[in-house]
Amino acid sequence: MGKRVGIIGAGVTPFKGTWREKTYYELAQMAAREAVKDAQIDIHDVDAAFYGIYNDIFERAAIPEHAIHGLLGMQNKFGIRITNGGATGAYTMSAAHAYLAAGRFKTALVLGVEKATDCFDFSSMSATPEVIKSIGWSADSFFEQGIGWSASDSYAEVVLGYMDEYPGDLKPEVTAQISSQLSQQVRSNPYAQRQFDQVTPEEVMNSRLVAYPFKELEICVYTEGAAAVIFAEEETAKAISRNSGKPVVWITGVGEANEHSFAGKNQKVMSRIMSDYYGSHRAYEMAGIKDPKEAIDIVELHDAFVHQLEISMAEFGLVPLGKADALIEEGLMTPGGQYVVNPCGGLIYCGHAVGASNIMSAWSARNELIKRKLKTALVHGTGSTVAQYTTCLILEHA
């Protein structure tokens, strides 16, 4: 068993559709400044940096983190970049946790940044088709890129596979209600891209099909922004906490899994997100959680799509597979229900600044645990083709 690791500071930039006023250098520094200020430490007290940046094409540089390192005052120290599709942020936290638990460092800055919407399609004179094109380069390049693979159609494959298996679940009325609820929750997040974009279930139902079965208001939005958390090993964390007066939120469990990326016999099970199942259950095991339904209070879930949010909750063991609509129909995630799910508005309303998103989720989970005086949160990241990658972290507030 390694050393205990906790979060002792966190900060985010505003998440915006586009930041014309800032480059990703400045966005990264903004989040880092907020995080060290929150921890009440100096950046020179940080031993190592872990960068979560998903896509070289967004940043228009093949080693986008190299300039950031010195701009943050981390020169001559350990710095590593993690890139794991949509799960980049969560995997970056997993890596930082492992180094600190192993005793390599006492403190680490975990920073995610993304400048997605500089990508611009001059044929349609809009950004989004080019943003999703750049993500399209993530697909298998021999067999799938050329035939129109996209993040949406790839996740839709899994959702439709689930719906083939459980035709009565993921009802449009329920997915619409979840989206509407998230749009209400985002109101209290001043950093969110869509803080004041409250929608009714009817609006969600009426929004246009983007990729069947996903409607526009059931999909995350692309975002520019950065998020940072500061991790410390136990003794250092306690010392910093005494100084700052802010409690340590401990990372008691971490679990990861990457599935097959092709389908069929002995390949990816298309009706499941097994990476979510393995990732969450490995994290529970490490945290000593026997019954997640009892233990988990808050879930900060990577909701790339509302339908996938429901399936992920089922894979986490928080609602039965095939009956994920109970999240709404039995009030499991409605206000006052058993679980607080995505109080920040999730990636659909707070925004999806890919490498920063899961770190923003950890920022939110940590804040909510402290504010609501709750004990345990699950933070989740999903990514790659057919929801292939997952990392889950268990956060605990004593």
Our finding on whether 186 is near another protein (CB under 8 A) is no
Our finding on whether 20 is near another protein (CB under 8 A) is yes
Residue environment code for 153-183, b if the CB has 16+ CB neighbours within 10 A, otherwise e? bbbbbbbbbbbeebeebbeeebbbbbbbbbb
Residue whose CB is less far from another protein, 106 or 307: 307
- The answer to whether 337 touches 121, Cβ cutoff 8 Å, is no
Among 270, 319, 353, 359, binds another protein (CB under 8 A): 270
Our finding on whether 373 is near another protein (CB under 8 A) is no
Owner of token pair 């940043």: 59
- One-letter amino acid identity for 26? E
- The answer to whether 125 touches 91, Cβ cutoff 8 Å, is no
Our finding on whether 37 is near another protein (CB under 8 A) is no
Residue whose CB is less far from another protein, 80 or 163: 163
Our finding on whether 300 is near another protein (CB under 8 A) is no
Binding mask 39-78 toward another protein (x if CB under 8 A, else -) reads ------------------x--x------------------
Among 37, 173, 184, 209, binds another protein (CB under 8 A): 209
Residue whose CB is less far from another protein, 38 or 65: 65
Q: How many beta carbons lie within 10 A of that of residue 258, not counting itself?
A: 18
Our finding on whether 147 is near another protein (CB under 8 A) is yes
Rounded to a whole number of angstroms, the minimum distance from the CB of residue 285 to another protein is 26
Interatomic CA distance for residues 350 and 194, integer angstroms: 6
Using CA atoms of 289, 230, 273, 131 in order, give the dihedral in degrees to the nearest 10. Answer: 170
Our finding on whether 197 is near another protein (CB under 8 A) is yes
Q: Which residues pair with 50 in a beta bridge?
A: 80, 110
Among 142, 245, 290, 373, binds another protein (CB under 8 A): 142
Residue list 212-241, contact with another protein (CB under 8 A): 212-213, 216
Count of residues binding another protein (CB under 8 A)? Answer: 54
Residues 6+ apart with CB under 8 A from 246: 8, 9, 38, 39, 370
Our finding on whether 26 is near another protein (CB under 8 A) is no
Using CA atoms of 66, 71, 72, 74 in order, give the dihedral in degrees to the nearest 10. Answer: 60
Our finding on whether 190 is near another protein (CB under 8 A) is no
- One-letter amino acid identity for 11? G
Among 93, 174, 192, 210, binds another protein (CB under 8 A): 210
Our finding on whether 204 is near another protein (CB under 8 A) is no
Residue list 311-340, contact with another protein (CB under 8 A): none
Residue whose CB is less far from another protein, 216 or 329: 216
Interatomic CA distance for residues 331 and 328, integer angstroms: 5
Our finding on whether 188 is near another protein (CB under 8 A) is no
Our finding on whether 259 is near another protein (CB under 8 A) is no
Among 3, 25, 207, 367, binds another protein (CB under 8 A): 207
**Bond preceding residue 335 cis, omega within 30 of 0:** no
Can you point out the beta strands (E) in 70-207?
78-82, 107-115
Our finding on whether 374 is near another protein (CB under 8 A) is no
In the chain, how long is the greatest CA-to-CA distance? 57
Span of 5-13, 46-54, 151-159, 328-336 interacting with another protein by CB under 8 A:
151-159
Rounded to a whole number of angstroms, the minimum distance from the CB of residue 301 to another protein is 22
Give 214-260 as a DSSP string.
Answer: EEGGGB--B-EEEEEEEEEEHHHHHHHHHHH--PPEEEEEEEEEE--
Determine the length of the chain: 398
Among 4, 80, 171, 198, binds another protein (CB under 8 A): 198
Please give the residue ranges that form the binding site for another protein (CB under 8 A): 20-21, 57, 60, 121-126, 128-130, 132-133, 135-136, 142-144, 146-150, 152-153, 156-157, 160-161, 163-164, 196-198, 203, 206-213, 216, 262-267, 270-271
